[in-house]
Amino acid sequence: MNNLLVHANHATPIHLVSEQNLASWTKEQPSHVQCLVEQPRLNSQTVLLIPAEKEQALESVVLVVKDIDDFWALGNLAKQLPKGVYQLAEQTANIESHAIAYLLGAYQFSAYKSLPSIEAKLAIGDEALLNKVKATVDAIFLARDLVNTPAADMMPQHLAETMQELASKFDGQFSEIIGDELLEHNYPTIHMVGRASDNKPRLLELNWGDANHPKITLVGKGVCFDSGGLDLKPASGMRNMKKDMGGAAHVIALAQMIMATNLPVKLRVLVPAVENAVSKNAFRPGDVIKTRKGITVEIDNTDAEGRLVLCDALDEAQSESPDLLIDFATLTGACRIALGTELPGFFSTDQAIANELVAIGNTNADPIWQLPLFDQYKELFKSDVADMANCGSSPFGGAITAALYLKEFVEPSKTPWLHFDVMAWNLRALPGRPVGGEALGLRTVFSYLEQRYS
Ligand code: BES
Ligand code: ZN
Ligand code: ZN
């Protein structure tokens, strides 16, 4: 967990110097700094440790960067510094984002393997700033941990424990509907997708905040492992499917951030949590299910299970007509084909909100890309025997058709709806972003909520 952030006013300063300003900056430094800075051919990402003149300690750290405004400039620094307590030099601009990038770069998933520990702490003196940085980094670490944890240890009951702990930490309420109770409470699709697993399907719910505040409802796809079901995935496609609860990880992390910063909203989180397993009682291609909303759906492919568990949860979410409804899901491979793995796609029934989100994402280095709810493709999931099928026969436009399927279960005239189709995984390491579980679009959505509601 994130224990590298400390509250202190004095620590070894980190000076950020751009390649461009290096020469002029060096001229102003004392001679012992000048000779260190001048001797090697410095380029971007060089880290210089400046020893103190007398004691055996560091006087400062100099980090040469290409662009001082790059959000991720400090993303590789924590791993390179010796044990100590550091702080960004006073005159540094964008301390908040540099601190976040520094700390995100120190993330390690060491639950199953001991790794050389990173012991370069970061001190922040301003308490409000510290709390904001901490809320952001803790949330992203939580999402990464949840996604990285192997499926055997991150089944619906484990997601339930996580949400329960979160609720009690922030004085919220947690409740859940388990196994056959889902049928009694009319959540047929969640039960159907999850019934083949020994780990019973669940609908998890967290409520928090003042009932007089605007209501925000978050829904996250919690498929703890997606084997594909009877339409079994090939080995390569199944390998990473412990991350198929990534949408749940995003909304749980977002909820934590909202509660930790005490955003004045009434928060509701719904997570349909299931394992899409293969067993003699697994649901089948050709089965027809009557959803919570009453729409009948023919199963064309058991691997299109995310939209099935989400549709009952979205219908319930919609029933309270919240001010804003947001879902996150590792919903389609097609979205990755369209945008690659590092840019999450999103859909919105409200263009003004979408525009604001895109603008925020571009300024805070957490970009998102809007895809269209192109109604014409609705025909692609028509069924001969039911109101609709869970997917179409053609893979083209798969992210759009999946979003259109979900749209059938919300009422945009009552509640603006945002749907994020995320990867939840870094395939390659980038500064501040190690390989493995990742939260994408989270800071952007939080900033939007903060601007709108606080
Ligand atoms: N969980 C997958 C989607 C996925 C795959 C997200 C890889 C991110 C990376 C989802 O349940 C799925 O299998 N979708 C199918 C839908 C198809 C059967 C219509 C897909 O995308 O191939
Ligand atoms: Zn699937
Ligand atoms: Zn899935």
In the residue annotation, 83 being an active-site residue is answered as no
Task: Report which ligand 1 atom has the smallest distance to the Cα of 423.
Answer: 8
Specify whether 263 is located in the same domain as 156: yes
- Is the beta carbon of 305 within 6 A of some atom in ligand 1? yes
Residue 53 lies in a domain: yes
- Is the beta carbon of 257 within 6 A of some atom in ligand 1? no
Q: Which domain holds residue 318?
A: 136-453
Q: Which of 360, 316, 343 is nearest to 430 (CA)?
A: 343
Specify whether 194 is located in the same domain as 75: no
- Is the beta carbon of 224 within 6 A of some atom in ligand 1? no
Out of 298, 332, 335, give the residue to mutate to test ligand 1, the one with the largest number of ligand atoms within 8 Å of its CB: 332
Among residues 242, 307, 336, 407, the one annotated as catalytic is 307
Specify whether 63 is located in the same domain as 186: no
**Which CATH number do you get for residue 427?**
3.40.630.10
Residue where a domain stops, chosen among 125, 154, 171: 125
Nearest-CA residue for ligand 1 atom 22 is 333
Residue 131 lies in a domain: no
**Which CATH number do you get for residue 58?**
3.40.220.10
Report the number of distinct structural domains present in the chain.
Answer: 2
Specify whether 210 is located in the same domain as 82: no
In the residue annotation, 132 being an active-site residue is answered as no
Nearest-CA residue for ligand 1 atom 7 is 333
Specify whether 180 is located in the same domain as 319: yes
Ligand 3 mean position to 238 CA, how many Å? 10
Specify whether 144 is located in the same domain as 68: no
The residue type found at 162 is: T
Task: Report which ligand 1 atom has the smallest distance to the Cα of 301.
Answer: 18
- Is the beta carbon of 412 within 6 A of some atom in ligand 1? no
Residue 330 lies in a domain: yes
- Is the beta carbon of 207 within 6 A of some atom in ligand 1? no
- Is the beta carbon of 391 within 6 A of some atom in ligand 1? yes
pLDDT tens per residue, the chain (454 residues)? Answer: 468 999 998 899 999 999 888 889 889 998 888 887 765 566 666 888 988 877 778 999 999 999 999 999 999 999 999 999 999 998 889 999 999 999 999 999 999 999 999 999 999 999 999 999 999 999 999 999 999 999 999 999 999 999 999 999 999 999 999 999 999 999 999 999 999 999 999 999 999 999 999 999 999 999 999 999 999 999 999 999 999 999 999 999 999 999 999 999 999 999 999 999 999 999 999 999 999 999 999 999 999 999 999 999 999 999 999 999 999 999 999 999 999 999 999 999 999 999 999 999 999 999 999 999 999 999 999 999 999 999 988 899 999 999 999 999 999 999 999 999 999 999 999 999 999 999 999 999 999 999 999 9
Specify whether 81 is located in the same domain as 184: no
Ligand 3 mean position to 275 CA, how many Å? 9
- Is the beta carbon of 226 within 6 A of some atom in ligand 1? yes
Q: Which ligand is nearest to the CA of 340?
A: 1
Residue where a domain stops, chosen among 94, 125, 156: 125
Ligand 1 mean position to 376 CA, how many Å? 22
